Amino acid sequence: MSERMIMSWGVTEQGWRKGPWTPQEDKLLTEYVKLHGDGRWSSVSRSSGLNRSGKSCRLRWVNYLRPGLKRGQITPQEEGIIIELHALWGNKWSTIARYLPGRTDNEIKNYWRTHFKKKEKSPKKQRKLIKCQNFNQNFVNQQQEEQQHLGDDMKWAMMNTNVDHKMQDNNMGVMNPNVEDQCLPVMNNEDVSSWVDFLMDDELWGDLWNLDNQVATFK
DNA sequence: AACTTCCTCAACCGCTTGCAG
DNA sequence: TCTGCAAGCGGTTGAGGAAGT
Protein backbone atom coordinates (compact mmCIF):
# COMPACT_ATOMS: atom_id res chain seq x y z
CA MET A 1 0.00 0.00 0.00
CA SER A 2 1.47 3.33 -0.97
CA GLU A 3 1.86 6.27 1.34
CA ARG A 4 -0.06 8.41 -1.11
CA MET A 5 -3.01 6.04 -0.88
CA ILE A 6 -3.07 6.19 2.92
CA MET A 7 -2.91 9.96 2.86
CA SER A 8 -5.82 10.21 0.45
CA TRP A 9 -8.27 8.57 2.83
CA GLY A 10 -8.05 10.74 5.93
CA VAL A 11 -10.33 10.53 8.95
CA THR A 12 -14.03 10.50 9.73
CA GLU A 13 -15.93 13.31 11.43
CA GLN A 14 -15.55 11.40 14.70
CA GLY A 15 -11.80 11.31 14.19
CA TRP A 16 -11.57 7.63 13.24
CA ARG A 17 -8.97 6.76 10.66
CA LYS A 18 -10.30 5.52 7.33
CA GLY A 19 -8.89 3.61 4.41
CA PRO A 20 -6.63 0.63 3.94
CA TRP A 21 -5.22 -1.02 7.02
CA THR A 22 -1.49 -0.99 7.71
CA PRO A 23 0.40 -4.10 8.87
CA GLN A 24 0.85 -2.37 12.24
CA GLU A 25 -2.88 -1.90 12.62
CA ASP A 26 -3.50 -5.51 11.65
CA LYS A 27 -1.02 -6.63 14.28
CA LEU A 28 -2.63 -4.50 16.95
CA LEU A 29 -6.09 -5.79 16.15
CA THR A 30 -4.99 -9.42 15.95
CA GLU A 31 -3.19 -9.22 19.26
CA TYR A 32 -6.14 -7.52 20.92
CA VAL A 33 -8.62 -10.10 19.70
CA LYS A 34 -6.31 -12.95 20.72
CA LEU A 35 -6.23 -11.54 24.23
CA HIS A 36 -9.83 -10.45 24.64
CA GLY A 37 -11.78 -12.28 21.98
CA ASP A 38 -13.92 -10.75 19.29
CA GLY A 39 -17.17 -8.89 19.85
CA ARG A 40 -17.65 -5.60 21.71
CA TRP A 41 -16.11 -3.89 18.73
CA SER A 42 -16.62 -0.40 20.00
CA SER A 43 -14.47 -1.18 23.00
CA VAL A 44 -11.90 -2.89 20.79
CA SER A 45 -11.45 0.32 18.90
CA ARG A 46 -11.02 2.28 22.13
CA SER A 47 -8.89 -0.16 24.12
CA SER A 48 -6.60 -1.61 21.48
CA GLY A 49 -4.96 1.68 20.63
CA LEU A 50 -6.36 1.55 17.13
CA ASN A 51 -7.79 4.78 15.89
CA ARG A 52 -10.48 2.89 13.97
CA SER A 53 -14.24 2.67 14.36
CA GLY A 54 -15.70 -0.50 15.80
CA LYS A 55 -17.33 -1.19 12.47
CA SER A 56 -14.03 -0.93 10.69
CA CYS A 57 -12.33 -3.22 13.23
CA ARG A 58 -15.07 -5.82 12.94
CA LEU A 59 -14.96 -5.76 9.15
CA ARG A 60 -11.21 -6.08 9.05
CA TRP A 61 -11.26 -8.99 11.48
CA VAL A 62 -14.15 -10.84 9.85
CA ASN A 63 -13.00 -10.39 6.27
CA TYR A 64 -9.25 -10.50 6.54
CA LEU A 65 -7.64 -11.35 9.88
CA ARG A 66 -9.91 -14.04 11.31
CA PRO A 67 -8.14 -17.43 11.53
CA GLY A 68 -9.25 -20.11 9.12
CA LEU A 69 -9.95 -17.82 6.23
CA LYS A 70 -9.17 -19.26 2.82
CA ARG A 71 -7.28 -17.00 0.50
CA GLY A 72 -7.19 -17.42 -3.22
CA GLN A 73 -9.45 -18.57 -6.00
CA ILE A 74 -12.94 -19.88 -5.45
CA THR A 75 -12.89 -23.54 -6.47
CA PRO A 76 -15.39 -25.02 -8.96
CA GLN A 77 -16.97 -26.90 -6.05
CA GLU A 78 -17.39 -23.71 -4.08
CA GLU A 79 -18.75 -22.01 -7.16
CA GLY A 80 -21.36 -24.73 -7.51
CA ILE A 81 -22.39 -24.28 -3.91
CA ILE A 82 -22.66 -20.54 -4.36
CA ILE A 83 -24.92 -21.01 -7.37
CA GLU A 84 -27.11 -23.50 -5.57
CA LEU A 85 -27.48 -21.41 -2.48
CA HIS A 86 -27.97 -18.18 -4.36
CA ALA A 87 -30.78 -19.88 -6.27
CA LEU A 88 -32.31 -20.72 -2.92
CA TRP A 89 -31.73 -17.56 -0.96
CA GLY A 90 -30.81 -14.80 -3.35
CA ASN A 91 -28.42 -12.16 -2.05
CA LYS A 92 -28.23 -13.55 1.47
CA TRP A 93 -24.46 -13.45 1.35
CA SER A 94 -23.84 -14.07 5.02
CA THR A 95 -26.17 -17.05 4.98
CA ILE A 96 -24.42 -18.46 1.93
CA ALA A 97 -21.03 -17.83 3.52
CA ARG A 98 -21.97 -20.08 6.45
CA TYR A 99 -21.94 -23.01 4.07
CA LEU A 100 -18.51 -22.17 2.69
CA PRO A 101 -16.03 -22.46 5.53
CA GLY A 102 -13.20 -20.00 5.23
CA ARG A 103 -15.03 -17.74 2.82
CA THR A 104 -16.55 -14.42 3.80
CA ASP A 105 -19.82 -12.88 2.74
CA ASN A 106 -17.87 -10.04 1.17
CA GLU A 107 -15.79 -12.44 -0.87
CA ILE A 108 -18.83 -14.35 -2.12
CA LYS A 109 -20.67 -11.14 -2.91
CA ASN A 110 -17.72 -9.82 -4.90
CA TYR A 111 -17.32 -13.13 -6.69
CA TRP A 112 -20.97 -13.22 -7.66
CA ARG A 113 -20.94 -9.68 -8.93
CA THR A 114 -17.81 -10.09 -11.02
CA HIS A 115 -18.56 -13.53 -12.44
CA PHE A 116 -22.30 -13.66 -12.88
CA LYS A 117 -23.84 -10.23 -12.70
CA LYS A 118 -21.77 -8.57 -15.38
CA LYS A 119 -23.17 -10.40 -18.40
CA GLU A 120 -26.78 -9.61 -17.74
CA LYS A 121 -27.42 -7.70 -20.95
CA SER A 122 -26.20 -10.31 -23.41
CA PRO A 123 -28.62 -11.94 -25.88
CA LYS A 124 -27.74 -15.29 -24.39
CA LYS A 125 -28.97 -14.01 -21.11
CA GLN A 126 -32.29 -13.01 -22.58
CA ARG A 127 -32.82 -16.51 -23.96
CA LYS A 128 -31.74 -17.97 -20.69
CA LEU A 129 -34.16 -15.76 -18.81
CA ILE A 130 -37.02 -17.02 -20.93
CA LYS A 131 -35.92 -20.57 -20.26
CA CYS A 132 -35.83 -19.85 -16.56
CA GLN A 133 -39.29 -18.34 -16.69
CA ASN A 134 -40.67 -21.37 -18.48
CA PHE A 135 -38.90 -23.71 -16.15
CA ASN A 136 -40.22 -21.94 -13.11
CA GLN A 137 -43.74 -21.68 -14.45
CA ASN A 138 -43.75 -25.39 -15.21
CA PHE A 139 -42.38 -26.07 -11.81
CA VAL A 140 -45.02 -23.99 -10.10
CA ASN A 141 -47.79 -25.60 -12.14
CA GLN A 142 -46.45 -29.00 -11.30
CA GLN A 143 -46.28 -28.17 -7.63
CA GLN A 144 -49.80 -26.83 -7.65
CA GLU A 145 -51.06 -29.98 -9.32
CA GLU A 146 -49.31 -32.09 -6.77
CA GLN A 147 -50.69 -29.88 -4.07
CA GLN A 148 -54.21 -30.56 -5.25
CA HIS A 149 -53.54 -34.27 -5.08
CA LEU A 150 -51.81 -34.24 -1.76
CA GLY A 151 -54.11 -31.75 -0.07
CA ASP A 152 -52.83 -29.71 2.80
CA ASP A 153 -49.66 -31.69 3.19
CA MET A 154 -47.97 -29.70 0.45
CA LYS A 155 -48.35 -26.06 1.28
CA TRP A 156 -46.38 -23.13 0.18
CA ALA A 157 -44.14 -22.13 2.99
CA MET A 158 -43.22 -18.57 3.66
CA MET A 159 -39.72 -17.74 2.69
CA ASN A 160 -38.01 -15.64 5.30
CA THR A 161 -34.68 -15.10 6.89
CA ASN A 162 -35.04 -18.26 8.90
CA VAL A 163 -35.17 -20.44 5.84
CA ASP A 164 -31.84 -22.02 6.72
CA HIS A 165 -33.20 -23.01 10.08
CA LYS A 166 -36.23 -24.45 8.38
CA MET A 167 -33.97 -26.44 6.15
CA GLN A 168 -32.09 -27.74 9.12
CA ASP A 169 -35.25 -28.49 11.03
CA ASN A 170 -37.29 -29.99 8.24
CA ASN A 171 -34.65 -30.96 5.74
CA MET A 172 -36.59 -28.84 3.29
CA GLY A 173 -35.83 -25.63 1.46
CA VAL A 174 -38.88 -23.58 0.64
CA MET A 175 -39.69 -20.52 -1.38
CA ASN A 176 -42.97 -18.91 -2.15
CA PRO A 177 -43.19 -17.26 -5.54
CA ASN A 178 -46.22 -15.31 -4.35
CA VAL A 179 -44.24 -13.54 -1.72
CA GLU A 180 -42.81 -10.22 -2.69
CA ASP A 181 -39.07 -10.20 -3.20
CA GLN A 182 -38.98 -13.89 -3.90
CA CYS A 183 -38.50 -15.15 -7.38
CA LEU A 184 -38.02 -18.87 -7.40
CA PRO A 185 -40.44 -21.72 -7.02
CA VAL A 186 -40.84 -23.84 -3.98
CA MET A 187 -38.27 -26.55 -4.00
CA ASN A 188 -37.02 -29.09 -1.56
CA ASN A 189 -33.45 -30.23 -1.25
CA GLU A 190 -33.65 -32.86 -3.97
CA ASP A 191 -34.99 -30.26 -6.34
CA VAL A 192 -31.98 -28.03 -5.90
CA SER A 193 -29.74 -30.44 -7.75
CA SER A 194 -32.17 -30.62 -10.65
CA TRP A 195 -32.34 -26.85 -10.70
CA VAL A 196 -28.58 -26.67 -10.89
CA ASP A 197 -28.57 -29.36 -13.57
CA PHE A 198 -30.90 -27.14 -15.50
CA LEU A 199 -28.57 -24.22 -15.08
CA MET A 200 -25.61 -26.30 -16.17
CA ASP A 201 -27.53 -27.29 -19.26
CA ASP A 202 -26.88 -25.60 -22.59
CA GLU A 203 -24.91 -22.39 -22.51
CA LEU A 204 -26.36 -21.22 -19.24
CA TRP A 205 -23.24 -21.92 -17.26
CA GLY A 206 -20.82 -19.04 -17.03
CA ASP A 207 -23.46 -16.63 -18.11
CA LEU A 208 -25.80 -17.02 -15.24
CA TRP A 209 -29.08 -15.20 -15.12
CA ASN A 210 -29.54 -11.99 -13.26
CA LEU A 211 -31.66 -12.65 -10.24
CA ASP A 212 -32.70 -9.06 -10.00
CA ASN A 213 -34.51 -9.41 -13.27
CA GLN A 214 -35.91 -12.68 -12.10
CA VAL A 215 -37.39 -10.98 -9.12
CA ALA A 216 -39.33 -8.68 -11.37
CA THR A 217 -40.33 -11.55 -13.59
CA PHE A 218 -41.74 -13.83 -10.96
CA LYS A 219 -43.40 -11.34 -8.69
C1' DA B 1 5.68 2.62 -24.97
C1' DA B 2 1.66 5.11 -23.82
C1' DC B 3 -2.93 5.33 -23.09
C1' DT B 4 -7.55 3.47 -22.13
C1' DT B 5 -10.71 0.20 -20.48
C1' DC B 6 -11.92 -3.51 -17.66
C1' DC B 7 -11.67 -6.41 -13.56
C1' DT B 8 -10.97 -7.37 -8.79
C1' DC B 9 -11.54 -6.78 -4.09
C1' DA B 10 -10.84 -4.17 0.29
C1' DA B 11 -13.25 -0.98 2.66
C1' DC B 12 -16.94 2.28 3.46
C1' DC B 13 -21.89 3.65 3.98
C1' DG B 14 -26.40 3.34 5.40
C1' DC B 15 -30.06 0.52 6.79
C1' DT B 16 -31.87 -3.24 9.70
C1' DT B 17 -31.95 -6.17 13.59
C1' DG B 18 -31.33 -7.54 18.29
C1' DC B 19 -31.05 -6.54 22.89
C1' DA B 20 -30.52 -4.28 27.32
C1' DG B 21 -32.29 -0.89 30.32
C1' DT C 1 -43.81 -0.84 25.15
C1' DC C 2 -40.18 2.54 24.04
C1' DT C 3 -35.56 4.04 23.25
C1' DG C 4 -30.80 3.98 22.28
C1' DC C 5 -26.79 1.56 21.21
C1' DA C 6 -23.99 -2.12 19.13
C1' DA C 7 -23.56 -5.50 15.76
C1' DG C 8 -24.65 -7.41 11.40
C1' DC C 9 -25.79 -7.20 6.64
C1' DG C 10 -26.08 -5.95 1.75
C1' DG C 11 -25.03 -2.41 -1.60
C1' DT C 12 -21.67 0.64 -3.41
C1' DT C 13 -17.29 2.88 -4.20
C1' DG C 14 -12.73 3.55 -5.70
C1' DA C 15 -7.69 2.30 -6.09
C1' DG C 16 -4.53 -0.75 -8.23
C1' DG C 17 -3.28 -3.85 -11.58
C1' DA C 18 -4.11 -6.49 -15.85
C1' DA C 19 -5.49 -6.64 -20.46
C1' DG C 20 -6.45 -4.54 -24.71
C1' DT C 21 -5.61 -1.11 -28.37
Mean pLDDT across the stretch A172-182? 32
Residues with CB under 7 A from strand B: A 9, 12, 17-21, 55-56, 59-60, 63-64, 106-107, 109-111, 113-115, 118, 161
> Strand C closer than 7 Å to the CB of A162?
no
Using the structure, give the distance in angstroms from the CA atom of A190 to the C1' atom of B19, rounded to a whole number. Answer: 38
Nucleotides of B under 7 A from a protein CB: 7-14, 18
Indicate the pTM of the whole model.
Answer: 0.61
Q: What is the mean pLDDT of chain A?
A: 61
What residues contact A188, with CB distance under 8 A and at least 6 apart?
Answer: A171, A172, A173, A174
> Strand C closer than 7 Å to the CB of A106?
yes
More confident residue, A4 or A219: A4
Protein chain A, residues 7-26, with a C-beta closer than 7 Å to any atom of nucleic acid strand C: 8
Kindly tell me if the per-residue pLDDT of A210 is higher than 80.
Answer: no
In this prediction, residue A13 carries a pLDDT of 63
Least reliable range by pLDDT among A98-102, A149-153, A195-199:
A149-153
Q: What percent of chain A has pLDDT over 70?
A: 46
In this prediction, residue A10 carries a pLDDT of 66
Residue type at position A109: K
Kindly tell me if the per-residue pLDDT of A152 is higher than 50.
Answer: no
